[in-house]
Amino acid sequence: MSTNPNAQLHEQLDSAAASRTAGQQPTWPDPQALRAAVAELAAYPPLVFAGECDVMRERMAAAARGEAFVLMGGDCAETFAGATANNIRDRIKTVLQMAAVLTYGASVPVVKVGRMAGQYAKPRSADTETRSGQTLPAYRGDMVNDFAFEPSARVPDPQRLVTAYHRASATLNLVRAFTTGGFADLRHVHDWNKGFVESAANSRYERLAHDIGKAMKFMAACGADFEAMRTTEFFAAHEALLLDYEHPLTRIDSRTGLAYDTSAHFIWLGERTRELDGAHVDFLARVRNPIGVKLSAKADPDDVLRLIERLDPDREPGRLTLITRMGAGRVSDALPGLIERVRDAGATVTWICDPMHGNTFESTGGYKTRNFDDIVEEVRGFFQVHRDLGTVPGGLHVELTGNDVTECIGGSTKILDADLEKRYETVCDPRLNHRQSLELAFLVAEMLSGDVPA
Ligand code: PEP
Ligand code: CO
């Protein structure tokens, strides 16, 4: 055993994982290259600071009580090539614009979280992919291999773990610059939203934007400190999928002696890696970050209670977020029973709606897509269930981009099946484009404010 506390921690994490099943891990062909990459990561500085994770946990606790609302958004799979200044800026801009509208609708602070700066690994339903008779390893995210359908591109390369760290670091640096350097100024954000509303020609959105403008004028007249609104808190989150990336970035916080995964403020487990005895759940139980677990309509309430016992034994508000992704057609029947059981077990979890992953289908042209109306419908169902039970809908988790892509059907620009091929750029799931994201925010703001019955 090493005497370095982080080295000891990494040994403990690795040996705990070795005695459990870790789903969805790549088969790295060269163990020595893997060891070198992991050692390199272990020597790098943390990407986030433990104190920031603690702040975020408090924010998530406020959301669980209904005193804040969470907005998580970003790509399904970030790519290395996509980590450009313009892409990052436009994604941040989209999230900030949505957050401004949601803040007004919810009348509480919005906790802004990017599915960013680490969302480079994907769970896959099959280990291989076959095209025109050729079978290659599946694409598992830029952290593992390349999207190009060529034999050499699909070989898992552990140096990609290191590249992921550097891309995450550059992304996070720009996110911090944008959100603290004046770009996030609420007055700019409102101007951007006015621009959107003018072009959308939708009287409901116009009224809401007008009301926000009036509220801002009122605040200014009252002497509100707009200088303080030039900056905003912004957190980074991703699915903690690849243990070879998450373990070496987990560090002991010198203030508290506790372990934090410093690859992001918030990490979550997907629907496919949340098995109770698996290595992923064990890993999350060992870190102090605020954490999340995705739950489909198939989630067994008994399993969910066991997960709570394992991941949030102290029933600490803000520690555990349950992200439900049940599908527009299932949310009303599958969600209530789950919420009741969790509530009756005395857990104060933060409930977040992911209206994307239960609504995916294949278009007639063969594209993986989602219908904007289904997405809105699932959010509406989520709010309705919480309203009926008197529980708190804590936030929204969406796959989005700031770009003008054509990946999801519908929205006011009426993207049709036949339009998907025009700008279908995702390497994994279909994302809402900039306008669809803003429309969703306006519709959810109406639901939150009670202006339009949900
Ligand atoms: C995702 O968030 O991209 C994802 C794979 O989700 P889930 O685990 O809910 O299927
Ligand atoms: Co996805």
Q: d(Cα 267, Cα 60) in Å, to the nearest integer?
A: 13
Using a CB cutoff of 5 Å, list residues around ligand 2, an ion: 76, 429
Q: Which amino acid is at 354?
A: D
Residue nearest to atom 1 of ligand 1 (CA): 76
Q: Report residue 431 as tokens.
A: 């994302």
Give Cβ neighbours of residue 453 (< 8 Å, ≥ 6 apart): none
- Ligand 1 binding pocket includes 357 (Cβ within 6 Å): yes
The 10s digit of each residue's pLDDT in 355-406 is 999 999 999 999 999 999 999 999 999 999 999 999 999 999 999 999 999 9
Q: Which amino acid is at 73?
A: G
- Ligand 1 binding pocket includes 66 (Cβ within 6 Å): no
Residue 114: closest CA among 64, 173, 166: 173
Whole-number average pLDDT of the chain = 96
Q: Report residue 251 as tokens.
A: 């560090």
Q: State residue 2's pLDDT score.
A: 73
Residue nearest to atom 3 of ligand 1 (CA): 76
- Ligand 1 binding pocket includes 253 (Cβ within 6 Å): no
The 10s digit of each residue's pLDDT in 8-38 is 999 999 999 999 999 999 999 999 999 999 9
- Ligand 1 binding pocket includes 124 (Cβ within 6 Å): no
Give me the sign of the Cα torsion angle 363, 367, 371, 375.
positive
The 10s digit of each residue's pLDDT in 186-210 is 999 999 999 999 999 899 999 999 9
Which of 139, 266, 271 for mutating ligand 1's site (highest number of atoms within 8 Å of CB)? Answer: 271
Q: Which amino acid is at 2?
A: S
CA dihedral in degrees (20, 248, 160, 129; nearest 10)? 10
Q: d(Cα 186, Cα 192) in Å, to the nearest integer?
A: 10
End-to-end CA distance of the chain: 57
- d(CA 11, ligand 2 centre) in Å: 31
HSE-up of 162 (CA within 13 Å, CB side)? Answer: 15
| Mean per-residue pLDDT, 226-254 | 96
Question: β-strand 320-324 against 134-137: which pairing, if any?
Answer: unpaired
- Ligand 1 binding pocket includes 90 (Cβ within 6 Å): no
Among the four given CATH numbers 3.40.50.2300, 3.90.1150.10, 3.20.20.70, 1.10.275.10, the one describing domain 5-184+231-449: 3.20.20.70
Q: State residue 451's pLDDT score.
A: 67
b/e code 35-44 from CB counts within 10 Å (16+ = b): eebbeebbee
b/e code 223-253 from CB counts within 10 Å (16+ = b): eeeeeeebbbbbbbbbbbbbbbbbbbbbbbb
Residue nearest to atom 4 of ligand 1 (CA): 270
Ligand 1, atom nearest to 119 Cα: 3
Contact 111, 103 (CB under 8 A): no
Q: d(Cα 73, Cα 67) in Å, to the nearest integer?
A: 20
Ligand 1, atom nearest to 122 Cα: 5
| Mean per-residue pLDDT, 86-101 | 98
- Ligand 1 binding pocket includes 76 (Cβ within 6 Å): yes
Q: State residue 228's pLDDT score.
A: 84
* Statement: residue 454 has pLDDT above 90: no
Q: d(Cα 141, Cα 427) in Å, to the nearest integer?
A: 8
- d(CA 324, ligand 1 centre) in Å: 10
What is residue 266's three-state secondary structure? strand
- Ligand 1 binding pocket includes 154 (Cβ within 6 Å): no
What is residue 253's three-state secondary structure? coil
